[in-house]
Amino acid sequence: MWGIVGYKVPQRTGVEGLLPLLHLGPTRTSRARTRDPMAFRGTFDYSLDAKNRLTVPAKFRASLAEGVVLAKGIERCVQLWTPRGFEHYTGAALQGVHPLSDESRKLTRFFSANSLDTELDAAGRVMVPGFLVEHAALRKEVVVTGAGDCLEVWDRAAWGEYNRALSDELPEITAAIGHAG
For the stretch 108-140, pLDDT in tens is 999 999 999 999 999 999 999 999 999 999 999
Sign of CA dihedral 152, 155, 160, 163: negative
Q: Which CATH superfamily is domain 37-155 in?
A: Transcriptional regulator MraZ domain (3.40.1550.20)
Q: Tell me: pLDDT of 34 over 90.
A: no
Q: Tell me: pLDDT of 55 over 70.
A: yes
Please give the average per-residue pLDDT across 77-92, as a whole number: 97
Q: Buried b vs exposed e over 38-74: b needs ≥16 C-beta within 10 Å?
A: bebeeebebebeeebebbbbeebeebbeeebbbbbbe
Confidence of residue 88 (pLDDT cuts 50, 70, 90): very high
Confidence of residue 24 (pLDDT cuts 50, 70, 90): very low
Residue-level pLDDT at 180: 66
Q: Tell me: pLDDT of 10 over 60.
A: no
Residue-level pLDDT at 15: 45
Domain ranges of the chain: 37-155
Model pTM? 0.77
Compute the mean pLDDT over every residue in the chain, rounded to the nearest whole number. 85
Confidence of residue 29 (pLDDT cuts 50, 70, 90): very low
